[in-house]
Chains A and B, each alone.
Chain A
């Protein structure tokens, strides 16, 4: 069964037609990648799936349920988490506190007036575990703003994973990283999404082709093509429209 279905999604921003009928499905443990040129509407698509924007038309179905009109926080509670293209973390808080925010939300400890999350062994252990997974265990007490760029990107990923989501939406997780950092990020993403569904937006073809089970190409507001990495590599339309320039 598909965990995520996007049906005929349209989005226009006061006249500017960004998405004009996007359809796709993501399987329960599938790694699905969305590629496309700058301004193709990839981030907009994530904003619609995660609830930041409402689609102008069409639906988003999560685990068989139409969530098109649910607010962001309700979608997060259903088990969907996203990362951001531009790092969007709690800058003045420690790496650990960044992670703890999601870890305690996962168990519903959001508004309790008496319980103190820092005194909850279980939550602290889980947070440490996630820090370790993204390679920041040694930086647990460092304020996010003092981390190096690559580490901030890792923390961005950690905050996303802190919800222990069933579906992870990653918006250009390796943007701005060095070769080496990118390689590390790829193997980390592979590790942490083994048991979850994942949608990855990427520009780096190396990342896409080494991670994705299936790839779709967003072009002028529609999915130009969708298939396995081999199929996409071989697709003439994709070559003409997109890959051509990069591989030339």
Chain B
């Protein structure tokens, strides 16, 4: 197929997908729409995680610390600054997550591989411990309930805490963040991440301070996870320690692996798959994590490219020797 035809096809596909997303509230009942919104939020969480795992080859066991930090700081901002505008609270949450990402990132600057994975796990546990102990701010085991303020649009105030309005609000803000993450892969920084994974030593000899590159990526991926976290808080009108727990880290790991780390949309597919399957299974049995775990093992063993890899193989598209797909996306 000609390159221009292919680009055309992509554009048509994108337009159709967007149109479909826009009419969702007419297609789905309120329960289903809420589930769908949750999947969109988790998509950003998984996409942000894949910036580390898929693009930089960094396995983190601590992504929930950013997700949870974003959720809690959003709730704390709302509860401690009465009258704060909704977007102000969201921005505050993202900003504070950025600061945490910077602090943790500087401490992790020189480590890679297993030490990196273990240290992220340790930091996640530390942040979780802060969540439990700092009762006066975080509510400890009780968590924090929040009343999401209306969104000030200038000419009117829009209640966006639930229903179609929340869905559209999520679609715009979270969707923009996902779109940025996609754009990011083509930027100088995004390309540097790929090049460093490919050959870090040569990059250093080409004038790149690769530790700084890793730090920027770590902070960015954390900030996006924090944004996802604050939307998770709106979704539930409540934040509990579950948002910052090791389970929440495991969740993003499962989503990303199931969806596939090799292609940008892999984690999105994984987030949708996970959200819907979990919803379905948890209605049937309390042992759903067991089934999820088995599914995960099966995917890792037999479908290493994840759902996205599977789809590409079935459609006879992309070659298999590019487990990242991202390389193929470069002109």
Contact = CB atoms under 8 A, between A and B. Distances in A.
Contacts of A82: 205
Contact of B191 (A50, A71, A117): A117
B327 A116 contact: no
Contacts of B192: 101, 110-111
Interface in A117-164: 117-118, 159, 162-163
Interface stretch (A88-96, A172-180, A213-221, A230-238): A88-96
Contacts of B331: 118
A76 B205 contact: yes
B206 A97 contact: no
B187 A114 contact: yes
Residue from A81, A110, A115, A116 with most neighbouring chain B CB atoms (10 Å): A110
A77 B189 CA distance: 17
B186 A76 contact: no
B330 interface: yes
Contacts, number: 95
15 contacts: A71-B204, A73-B210, A88-B202, A90-B195, A91-B199, A93-B194, A97-B195, A101-B195, A110-B208, A111-B212, A112-B189, A113-B216, A115-B187, A116-B186, A118-B331
A115 B184 CA distance: 9
B198 A111 contact: no
Interface in B167-213: 184, 186-189, 191-192, 194-195, 198-199, 201-210, 212-213
B142 interface: no
A154 B167 CA distance: 54
Q: Which 6 A-B pairs have the closest CB atoms?
A: A76-B207, A112-B188, A105-B207, A72-B204, A77-B207, A90-B198
Contacts of B199: 88-91
Contact of A111 (B213, B322, B327): B213
A101 B331 CA distance: 14
Contact of B186 (A91, A93, A118, A163): A118
B187 A159 contact: no
Interface of A: 50, 71-73, 76-77, 81-82, 88-94, 97, 101-102, 104-106, 109-118, 159, 162-163
B203 A101 contact: yes
Given A73-B207, A111-B213, A115-B188, A92 B322 contact: yes
Contacts of B210: 73
A140 to B, nearest CB: 11
Contacts of A109: 188
B189 A101 contact: no
Contacts of B186: 116, 118
A106 B187 CA distance: 16
A100 B39 CA distance: 38
Contacts of A89: 199, 202
Contacts of B204: 71-73, 76
Interface in B108-165: none
Contacts of B184: 113
A42 to B, nearest CB: 17
Contacts of A71: 204, 209
